[in-house]
Structure formats: structure tokens, C-alpha cells
Structure 1
């Protein structure tokens, strides 16, 4: 009996010793022994946890270049924080793989277009962009197996064209004109998408001769033609329409009879579309077949849509003659076109509402007093402001507006511009500004989503001085919009006073601004050579 008792005591001692060893090992690794016996969390509980409770950083390898987009660091800008007494943070979007905040927008636009069927793999994405969106779209399009065609004004920095061409995009530079002009770079990009979509409809021509013997097929084709013709009056509807239902394009190997039938069908369709378009055209509209007018003139509002008739006719020329356009591959085999439309496409807003905003909230620990940024498309300020205010209605959101933009007046006075300043009444912005990608004189669908408390005006001189100041004091080499955003951050700090946390966006680096904003000779010619040694250009002095 005694031996049995001793055995039980020895066994108990052994168990206690083992538990002590496990506990000590756990403590050395920063965990308690409970961790060794606690059940693992279920996959369901992990998936149901709120997004704001998840870490902003993603551990482990990511899937390709698309996986590297987002989750950029939130960095403290030391010099501005010390000078203002506030904590000023910049979201380092220049660390995205494409070098700018627009990577998020491009990825969201292309992703949603592919999911909806408006874009197919192998198709061409077109955009009119004077900023970083073009570079981001070129990168993202390739990653998704698509092509990219970019139209930009010929006064944009030349290095942007060089980068785009190096990335495999086709680039079209046009003269700067009013947004209501048919040859504004955004309208040209819209036309190119329409051309690609209609050129890709060549396969349906091949089947027309078969339709003559099949009443059911002929009926379907006729309905398809009517649907396409009706879309001409609203060429924004191009992207929302379903892609052409036929996969294989018409090639030179097809029989002569089939090609004659295709030409006959194209000519009949051309007449139908022309009748639709010209029914609303006004005298003086510039409808031509096979070429666009090189004469640049401001068109009265209302003529722009009617003038798009030339697009339809040209596209049918491409189909009928078996030729390829610049936006098609060299083999002439297109997969349709999609106009990214970053200004009005709400995928832009969603990219920041679902991505950038939540990241800022997590990385700041939910401690944000104010957010400020310039606006171009309006997607960044809209997505981030709406998300932050949903988390805390006390967060203040502001815009910093560059010269010539009407958003300051819109926010502060409720009036965007005088009648004489409307974009349809002038060839170009009457104020010269060297900032790129920010400022606008119309309200976009993206900007309508914004929750804004106020606005500040910024100048080119302030942006240039800020860029030089950040380089010398923080080692931050930023572009024009990033510099303007930092001007806005200081303005907000001056208004709120010390002790506040202010966040802004560092959109891109100065690498894409070497010919203008970061070029000493160019700045000297504009009378913008930076001279400040501290923040006196913003009525602040660097602390001793």
C-alpha cells in the first residue's frame, strides 16, 4: 500500500515538473503554457473578424505585381511635424509597384471591368491621363493580360511618355483643348475604346452570309445591330454594354464571298448608324470618314455627342477593309476596348474607400484628427474622407486646391466658377500651373462622394518650395501633387493648432517630374526657383 502511495506521489511530481518545464519554455518565447493547450481559432472566426482588427501588413510572399499594390507605410514627416507641433503623417503611395497612388485605382478599374464582362482578357484599356494613372494602367493591364492605349496632352512631362512606351503601352499625344472639344485627350481616349470595341465586332460580319439562310440567326443579328446603333447617342454606354458575342475575328483567309457579304453588312450598318447620329447633328459638326480633323476649335456644348458619329464610321472602315487600328494588335485581332474613365468610374472611389482609408485607420491606431489632399478625379479625397468619417464623424477632411482649379470655390462658396470660366467656354485653363494630375473645373461622380469640411488654396511657388524643403530636411523626393498635399497639411496644422494628428497622401515621387517640376532650368524660366531655407514661405520658421 505504501509503495502504491509513493508511486502516485512520484507520478504527480513528474507531471508538475513537466508542466513547469513547458511553462518556462513558453515564457522564454513570450507565451504562457496556456498557449500549448488553448484550442486554435477556427477559420470561420478569423474570417468574421472586423477588417479594422486585422493587421495592415501582409506577411509572406504576394501574388505578382498586383499583390504588391497597397498596404503602403504611413510615415511621420519629421520636419513638418517638428515645425507645426502636430503629428503630420504621409501615406507613402510612391512605394506602390507602379510608383504612385494610382496603382490602386488602375487595379480596381480593370478588376471590376473584367468581372463585369465589360473588358475581356486580350482587350485594350484606354485612358486620357496627364498624371500617373496612365503608367499604373499600363502596368496593371499587362498583369491582367490586356493592352493599354493612353492619350495625353502634349505639354505633359516627356518622361511619362517614355515610361509608358517602355512598358508596352501605345501613346497618343494631342494638343490641349477644352474638355467639351472632341479632341480633348479624355474624349479621344473614349473614342479609341469605342473604335476597338466596334472593330472587334468584325466576327459578326463573317456570319452575315449564313444568316441569310437562317431566319433565326438573322433576327438575332438584326437585334444586335439595333442595340449597337442605339448606344451611339450615349457613348458612355459603350463600357456598360456586353462584349461582342463572337470570338474569332475575320481574317484574310476567309473566302471572297464571305468578305463581300461582310462588306455589304458593314455598309448597311454604317447607313443605319449614320442615320441615328445625324438625326441629332447640328450644322458645322465635323463628321468625317477615315480621319479626324486637325483643326482645333471650341465647340458649343451639345455638339460633342453628335460629332462622335465620325467614330462609328471610322470603326466600320476598319472592319470593312480588314485593317487594324493603333489600338489593335499588329495581327488585327482585337478583343474589344474599355474606357477606364477614371474621373467618372466609381471604381476609383471604391479603391480608396475599401483600401486606402481602412489602411490609414489601422496604421494610425484610429487616431486621426484631419485628412487633407488635392483633388483631380476626386477618388482619393472621396474614398478616404467617407471612410474616415464613418469611423469617427469628428475627423475633419479638407482639400488643397492648385491655381486655376474651381474646387476651392465649390467647397467654400458653393459656386464652382463664373460663366466665363466654365470649361466649355475656354480653350485651356487660363491660369498656368506646373502641378500635374490635380485641380479641375467640374464636379465628377467620384468627387460627389466626398465628405469635405473645408478647403485651402495652394500656389505653384509653395509646392516648389515644399518639394525642395522635404528633400533637404527629410530625404523625401516627391512630385508636384505630393508637395501640394504637404502644403495642405501645414495649412491644416496652422488652423487646428499643435497637438493634432494630420494625414495626407504622398502620391508619387519626383522621378516622373524631372523635365518640369524637378528641373532647375524649367523652374528658373517660370520664375519659380526655390529660395527658402525653412518654412517661411508658409509663414512658419524651422525650430532652432
Structure 2
């Protein structure tokens, strides 16, 4: 018989475990998914939101008539809107501009006010999302900034609820726990409980985007929302969340974007679990872990949120092709392979350096990219700041408008349009229009090459 609750807040937690029998076929160790998108607000963040609000009330930080403010990729804001509106508070969610549009729509539906701000800028930039919400908290009387990254009530929610649930649901048989790492609350809280309950026997694995700094990446952008740690190349001080206890995590599985996104699409088609892209990262990691184990082991993996918030992204074939994650039947791939190696120009290059680089650039044009010491995963589309043209630079030098040692800055042109490797030449020509002479081709969201207009005819 289904439970009866006096409030939706009583329905937070108590989510089921579901065996991933199809994705785990042929693997000796069973894999069970903790289906956190069945929380009343649609994600694992409902747990942290309730815990943080109750703690703030208990500590006198949040008082009747107050305002809850938080920076969020969406899910924590939704949880805070659900909890906060139920308890009579105004809720303002600062949302990362790269978050799916569906999340902002859900926030507004719950009665939250949404403020969009970037995260792909240096941490010290006043436009950065965290700085925007900090200013709002200082300016609004009675405001409380939830600060999920440093709020210890975040991991405490999982010490008190998620960890005990998994231990009880598996009858203490869980041997490996896998979760994505964002604020660190879920993996830290749940992992620390399971380690303590098992006498240290449970292994905790962090699932991380390949480029995220948590697992050792370069911090460049990726395409899985809500997990990982991004590092803008101009950030002066990189801070780690206080909600994350690094010693709880035994190892990381670093998952490329394509593997994450294709795995979550398999999860919906083969297991009937319509989840968000960070679930794909976690399940891909869990599959890797389970393949190394035996039948006496048991893996539990967290599915943080629902795929209903990403219908316009990972669950859209058009979006996947546009960013180069699907390329079945691609004809651009043949053109890309024949185009030669990618030439890029750093944004802080001199005019002379750029001219030298452009000698080998297809069509005499190349993307201008943000400075990064090393790019082991290539140039993310978000790192393209503009374009450099051999024709424009040569004219500036010939006319005396620029000298070889001058900074390139003033001569940088607009960014070239992008097309995914899975799109057609017709689609590439359409994005070119009349204004551009070349197009950037994306593979897995990163610039793989430049195709000049004449190549696409």
C-alpha cells in the first residue's frame, strides 16, 4: 500500500533501487541504480535542499518572511523552491546560463525567481554566477544564501538518509558505491556512511567528466550538466567545495562526454529509466567498475535527476548531431578528414605570430581561442573567442594599420559558425550564410577542423 503524507516534504527520500539488468548483461557483479529522480522535486538535490533549509532555520539564519538565494545548475534551486515555497519563503535561483531551459521553466513553475548568469568566466569576474548571487544576498534584507558547495548540511542529508537507505536496501551487501561529483555532497555523505557501516569495506568511486579537475582533467568545458569542476584559464584562485571530503573517494572514473551521453540514451531505451546526462556519466563509470568485479560484489550507482529536464539536449537527436555526438551516415566526416590538421591562434598572440600560423590554415582562417597551457582534449566550442583571417591581417600589415609585434586583439573577427560532424553539407552551408567564409566542425563538442566555403560546394 502506498504511503500517505501530510506534506510533499515528507515524500523526499525513500527512492528505490532498480537493477540494471540489460546494461549489465554479461557482467558478473550486479549493478543497482538508486533512482533519485523519483524524489518529489525530481532530483537527489531535494534531500540537500530540505536539510539546508531546516538547518538554517534551526541556526537562526533563515527567519519567517526571509528570502532563499542560491547559485545552481538547476536541481538544487528546484529543491529549494519546492521546500522554500512550502515553508513560506521567497526563493531566488541564480542559474548557470548553460543549464537546460527546462530547468528554468520548472523553477518558475514552483514560484522561484530566476536570474541567469555565466559560469564560463573567471571566478573573480563580477558577472560570475557565484558573485551575482552573493551580491543579491547582501542587498536583500532577510536573505540567506544556501551556498550548497560549502554548506555541511548538504552532505549531512546523505549521511542521514541516502546512505542508510542503500545499506538497508542491499542488506549490507553493497561493496562499491558510484556517484557523480559536483558539490561533493552526495558522494561524500553517502560514501562516508557506507564506509562506516561496512567497517571500511565499501569502495567509493567518483564519476567525473574527463575534463573536470576533480579526476585530473584540465578544467576545460564539457557537456554534462551538474557535475565536475570547471576551471577558467584566467581564474586566479581555484577553490574546492567544503562539502567535498576528498578522502572519502577511493578513485575516480573519468568519462568522456560522448560515453556519458550515449550511455544515458541507452539507459532510457534499454532500462526504461529516463535520466539526465550526469546519470550517464555515473552509469558509464559503474559499468567500468563492475566489469572488474565478481559475483560476490554489488555496485550501487546514483541516478541524480530526470531526463525530462534535458529533452532539448541529450535526448534530442538534433542537439546531439549539432554538437558532434552523433555522426551515423555523416558526409562531413569525409570532408573533415581531408581538411588537414586543425590550426588555432591563441587570443594573446601577436599579429606576426598569427600570420605565421595562418599560412597553413584551410581557407586562410582559423579560430582564435582562449589561452590554456595545454589542451589534451582539444578546444571546446565555448573556448573559441573569435576568428583570425590571413587576408585581414595581411591588409592591416600592408596598410601600416598594424605591426608584427602588435597584439592580435583589435584584428580578431567574429567567431566562425559551428556545425556538428553528424550534420550534412547542406546544413553547414546554411549556417555559413553570406557572412562567413568557413565553418568550424565539432566532434564531441570540440573543434576538430575548419571547412572553407569552397569545400562545401
Instruction: Give TM-score scaled by structure 1 length.
Output: 0.56
Counterpart in the other structure of 1:388 = 194
* 1:131–1:492 distance in 2 versus 1, CA, 3 Å: farther
Counterpart in the other structure of 2:159 = 353
Structure with larger Rg = 1
Counterpart in the other structure of 1:245 = none
Post-superposition offset of 1:495: 2.4
Please state whether the residue corresponding to 1:163 is helix, strand or coil. Answer: helix
Structure 2: runs of 5 or more not aligned: 231-238, 329-457
Post-superposition offset of 1:530: 7.8
User: Are 1:172 and 2:172 counterparts?
Assistant: no
Greater length-normalized contact order (CA 8 Å, ≥ 6 residues apart): 1
* 1:530–1:123 distance in 2 versus 1, CA, 3 Å: farther
Is the CA contact (8 Å cut-off) linking 2:77 and 2:107 kept in structure 1?
yes
Question: In the aligned structure 2, how far is the partner of 1:164 from the partner of 1:477?
Answer: 20
Q: Give per-residue Cα distances to partners, 1:454-486, cap 9 Å, x unaligned.
A: 111101111111112112211111101111110
Residues 183-194 of structure 1: matches in 2 within 5 Å?
Answer: 183-194=127-138
1:94 maps to which of 37, 42, 49: 37
User: Are 1:402 and 2:218 counterparts?
Assistant: no
Is the CA contact (8 Å cut-off) linking 1:371 and 1:397 kept in structure 2?
yes
* 1:131–1:137 distance in 2 versus 1, CA, 3 Å: same
Please state whether the residue corresponding to 2:245 is helix, strand or coil. Answer: helix
Question: In the aligned structure 2, how far is the partner of 1:338 from the partner of 1:490?
Answer: 40
Please state whether the residue corresponding to 2:111 is helix, strand or coil. Answer: coil
2:56 maps to which of 99, 107, 113: 113
Counterpart in the other structure of 1:461 = 258
Q: Give per-residue Cα distances to partners, 1:73-119, cap 9 Å, x unaligned.
A: 11111113323121101111111110000000100011111111100
Post-superposition offset of 1:450: 5.0
Question: In the aligned structure 2, how far is the partner of 1:530 from the partner of 1:390?
Answer: 46
Counterpart in the other structure of 1:526 = 323
Counterpart in the other structure of 1:289 = none
Is the CA contact (8 Å cut-off) linking 2:28 and 2:293 kept in structure 1?
no
Counterpart in the other structure of 1:445 = 242
* 1:445–1:61 distance in 2 versus 1, CA, 3 Å: same
Higher strand share: 2
Post-superposition offset of 1:131: 3.4
Counterpart in the other structure of 2:148 = 342
Q: Give per-residue Cα distances to partners, 1:135-156, cap 9 Å, x unaligned.
A: 1111110111111101122222
* 1:103–1:530 distance in 2 versus 1, CA, 3 Å: farther
Residues 301-320 of structure 1: matches in 2 within 5 Å?
Answer: none
Moved over 4 A (4+): none
Post-superposition offset of 1:499: 4.0
Post-superposition offset of 1:498: 4.4
1:196 maps to which of 136, 140, 146: 140
Please state whether the residue corresponding to 2:273 is helix, strand or coil. Answer: coil
Question: In the aligned structure 1, how far is the partner of 2:145 from the partner of 2:21?
Answer: 41
Please state whether the residue corresponding to 2:140 is helix, strand or coil. Answer: helix
Post-superposition offset of 1:160: 1.1
Is the CA contact (8 Å cut-off) linking 1:372 and 1:485 kept in structure 2?
yes
Post-superposition offset of 1:60: 4.4
Is the CA contact (8 Å cut-off) linking 1:398 and 1:454 kept in structure 2?
yes
* 1:530–1:514 distance in 2 versus 1, CA, 3 Å: farther
Question: In the aligned structure 2, how far is the partner of 1:468 from the partner of 1:75?
Answer: 17
Is the CA contact (8 Å cut-off) linking 1:434 and 1:517 kept in structure 2?
no
* 1:509–1:474 distance in 2 versus 1, CA, 3 Å: same
Is the CA contact (8 Å cut-off) linking 1:88 and 1:502 kept in structure 2?
yes
Please state whether the residue corresponding to 1:408 is helix, strand or coil. Answer: coil
Q: Aligned Cα RMSD in Å?
A: 1.8
* 1:71–1:450 distance in 2 versus 1, CA, 3 Å: farther
Counterpart in the other structure of 2:91 = 148
Please state whether the residue corresponding to 1:119 is helix, strand or coil. Answer: coil
Please state whether the residue corresponding to 2:253 is helix, strand or coil. Answer: strand
Post-superposition offset of 1:402: 0.3
Post-superposition offset of 1:351: 0.4
Question: In the aligned structure 1, how far is the partner of 2:52 from the partner of 2:58?
Answer: 10
User: Are 1:64 and 2:17 counterparts?
Assistant: no
1:85 maps to which of 10, 28, 31: 28
User: Are 1:362 and 2:168 counterparts?
Assistant: yes
Counterpart in the other structure of 2:220 = 430
Please state whether the residue corresponding to 1:127 is helix, strand or coil. Answer: strand
Question: In the aligned structure 2, how far is the partner of 1:179 from the partner of 1:404?
Answer: 18
Counterpart in the other structure of 1:39 = none
Q: Give per-residue Cα distances to partners, 1:330-375, cap 9 Å, x unaligned.
A: xxxxxx1000000000000100011100110011101111001110
Q: How many residues end up aligned between the 2 structures?
A: 318
Instruction: Give TM-score scaled by structure 2 length.
Output: 0.67
Question: In the aligned structure 2, how far is the partner of 1:450 from the partner of 1:67?
Answer: 32
Counterpart in the other structure of 1:130 = 73
Q: Give per-residue Cα distances to partners, 1:468-512, cap 9 Å, x unaligned.
A: 211221111110111111011101112224442000101111000
Residues 462-481 of structure 1: matches in 2 within 5 Å?
Answer: 462-481=259-278
Post-superposition offset of 1:449: 6.3
* 1:115–1:471 distance in 2 versus 1, CA, 3 Å: same
